[in-house]
């Protein structure tokens, strides 16, 4: 096992897939000469050249559409949108072209395109650079949505996404690029459907994805040490399709569920997980499911207000204690 940073794992996957298939290209702002805002394409421009590592203008709608169109003809583009906040400009291309073409053509056309983008609340980037848009992408039929919570997943999901004939949106988090973790030395592919048990437990299930998985792990350690509550943690690394079977299996084991998301609760991941729980295992519950999520306001620039607007480990601990009665 090699210990890599999150960005290094992404870069390794990029490099391996470009070496494997000459039809794999990269596109995005500053990904070439500069090596990417988060270093995820560092060195690839020098290795593969300007025709395969394409520096684009600041025109998300334009270059995303160009990449999607190329994918109809057999190219496998990996499109980096520097910040998910800017993906709004490309939503017509993603929603109306990439996600629908396979269905509308009866399978005669596919869009094997990967769209990577960083989101989440980082450090005082303001409301227009702190979006959590995963719930929007989840609602697009025909689009796969994955969200790696560690370098191993970041590596394996990107490799699988590049080889998938469906369009795949990869939701990364700005605060995780320097996170370190073990990545297999050998080539590794992560399934694009499913979830992982990040921690075994018996008393309550904590559901998280990308950065909230780490909040859940910290909360679980506190709950076990201080209150004797053993929390199971399910890493929902695939958001579309959600792992219905994995969600149900854990709730039937613990009989309680807390869903933790950095985004606002309305029409979100937590709402979908709660719907699955209610549909599949309502009578297994010992308490009503609870969401721990952001306050429904634009993210403030002020540091203290920014922190107050998003959930934290203490919020998770408090929600579980209230549910369990300890």
Asked if 168 and 214 sit in the same domain, the reply is no
pLDDT tens for each residue of 114-148 = 999 999 998 888 888 888 999 999 999 999 999 99
Q: For the chain, which residues score pLDDT lower than 50? A: none
Asked if 164 and 242 sit in the same domain, the reply is no
pLDDT number for residue 263: 94
pLDDT number for residue 232: 98
293 in a structural domain = yes
Asked if 169 and 207 sit in the same domain, the reply is no
pLDDT number for residue 164: 98
Asked if 127 and 160 sit in the same domain, the reply is yes
Q: Do the beta carbons of residue 81 and residue 64 sit within 8 Å?
A: yes
Active-site choice (8, 80, 129, 134): 129
Closest by CA to 169, choosing from 141, 207, 211, is: 141
Using a 10 angstrom Cβ sphere, with 0-12 exposed, 13-18 middle and 19 or more buried, the burial of residue 189 is middle
CA 34/CA 17 separation, integer angstroms? 20
Asked if 136 and 17 sit in the same domain, the reply is yes
* In the block, residue with structure tokens 């994918």: 71
Asked if 224 and 157 sit in the same domain, the reply is no
**Domain range spanning residue 265?**
196-324
CA 165/CA 102 separation, integer angstroms? 9
188 in a structural domain = no
Asked if 25 and 120 sit in the same domain, the reply is yes
Q: Do the beta carbons of residue 25 and residue 77 sit within 8 Å?
A: yes
pLDDT number for residue 123: 86
Active-site choice (60, 134, 196, 261): 60
280 in a structural domain = yes
pLDDT number for residue 127: 84
How many Cα atoms occupy the beta-carbon half-sphere of 263 within 13 Å? 19
- 3-state SS assignment for residue 267: coil
CATH classification of the domain holding 41: 3.40.50.970
CATH classification of the domain holding 271: 3.40.50.920
pLDDT number for residue 185: 95
pLDDT number for residue 318: 97
pLDDT number for residue 125: 85
pLDDT number for residue 222: 98
Known catalytic residue at 129: yes
- The 8-class DSSP code of residue 127 comes to G
């Amino acid at each position: 096992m090699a210990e890599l940073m999150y960005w290094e794992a992404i870069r390794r996957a990029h490099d391996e897939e470009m070496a494997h298939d000459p039809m794999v290209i990269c596109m995005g702002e500053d990904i070439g000469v500069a090596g990417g805002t988060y270093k995820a394409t560092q060195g690839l421009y020098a290795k593969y050249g300007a025709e395969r590592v394409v520096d684009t203008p600041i025109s998300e709608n334009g270059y995303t559409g160009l990449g999607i169109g190329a994918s109809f003809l057999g190219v496998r583009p990996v499109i980096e949108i520097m910040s998910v906040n800017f993906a709004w400009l490309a939503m017509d291309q993603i929603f109306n072209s990439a996600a629908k073409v396979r269905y509308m053509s009866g399978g005669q056309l596919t869009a094997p395109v990967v769209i990577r983008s960083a989101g989440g609340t980082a450090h005082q980037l303001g409301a227009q650079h702190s979006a959590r848009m995963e719930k929007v992408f989840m609602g697009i039929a025909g689009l796969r949505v994955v969200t790696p919570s560690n370098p191993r997943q970041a590596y394996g999901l990107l490799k699988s996404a590049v080889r998938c004939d469906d369009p795949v949106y990869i939701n990364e988090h700005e605060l995780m690029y320097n996170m370190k973790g073990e990545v297999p030395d050998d080539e590794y592919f992560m399934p694009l459907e499913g979830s992982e048990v990040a921690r075994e437990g018996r008393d309550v299930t904590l559901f998280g994805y990308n950065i909230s998985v780490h909040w859940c792990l910290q909360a679980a350690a506190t709950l076990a040490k201080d209150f004797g509550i053993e929390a199971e943690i399910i890493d929902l690394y695939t958001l579309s399709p959600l792992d219905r079977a994995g969600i149900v299996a854990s709730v039937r084991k613990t009989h309680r569920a807390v869903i933790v998301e950095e985004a606002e609760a309305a029409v979100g991941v937590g709402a979908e997980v709660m719907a699955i729980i209610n549909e599949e295992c309502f009578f297994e519950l010992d308490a009503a499911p609870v969401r721990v999520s952001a306050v429904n306001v634009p993210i403030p620039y002020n540091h203290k207000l920014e922190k107050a607007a998003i959930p934290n480990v203490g919020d998770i601990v408090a929600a579980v204690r209230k549910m369990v009665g300890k």
